[in-house]
Amino acid sequence: MNSPALRSPQHGVTMLEVLIAIVVLSFGMLGMLGLLTNGLKMTSSSQYRTIAAQQLTAIADMISANPDISFAYAALPSNSAVTSNCLTATGCATTVSTLTTTTGTPPVTTTTTSLSSTALPQTDYELWRQNLAMLPQGVGVVCLDSTPADGNSANFACDNSGRLTVKICWNEQGRVAISGGGGSGGAASASAQDTCLVTQL
């Protein structure tokens, strides 16, 4: 009686399984890397929004602390300077004058307020603008605006009417472009990708 032929064992099966496992693990690691990258982006964006909200509150508090001269904050030049006296105990030399006139029939009373020096508003404004450097390409403005939802860093679109408005814009895409992560970072494309926060007082 002939004995059955011995079957030769298969070779290479374990190696193939290991290679498949490595490929599956690699895809899993790539997915985790993508989640980590998106998480870092969201954290960075949240941090910038927190800074912008803090700066909105800061300038609003400065204006609210000086209600008699709040109108002066809406007419400050972009090249405002810090007056050193405003940072001392003596403070800025600021005199507020009020003129009340009554004319017409029936009589209408008009009150006009004027400011002898804009040193205090200019100092507050410039210190606030310097703090906006914490944001990537961060800029801001205080103006009168009846349509606060429009505008960007290239043109805040203030129409000099309506309520006192604070606008802050920054560009997270510009930060990515500077680091070599993408985008051209040009002025035209940058303003189109702005993130802005606005509040009215």
For residue 68, tell me if it sits in a domain: yes
For residue 1, tell me if it sits in a domain: no
For residue 22, tell me if it sits in a domain: no
Number of domains in the chain: 1
**Residue 24 in tokens:** 């599956």
Task: Find out whether 95 and 72 touch, Cβ atoms under 8 Å.
Answer: no
**Model pTM score:** 0.64
Domain that holds residue 59: 46-89+118-200
For residue 173, tell me if it sits in a domain: yes
- Report the relative pairing of strands 108-115 and 163-170 from DSSP bridges: unpaired
For residue 80, tell me if it sits in a domain: yes
H or E stretch including 33?
helix 13-64
Q: Mind listing the pLDDT tens digit for each residue in 169-191?
A: 998 875 544 333 333 344 445 56
What is the per-residue pLDDT for 186? 42
For residue 157, tell me if it sits in a domain: yes
* Cα–Cα separations (whole angstroms), residue 21 to 2, 15, 25, 35: 43, 10, 6, 21
What three-state secondary structure class fits 86? helix
Tell me what percent of the residues of the chain surpass a pLDDT of 90.
Answer: 14
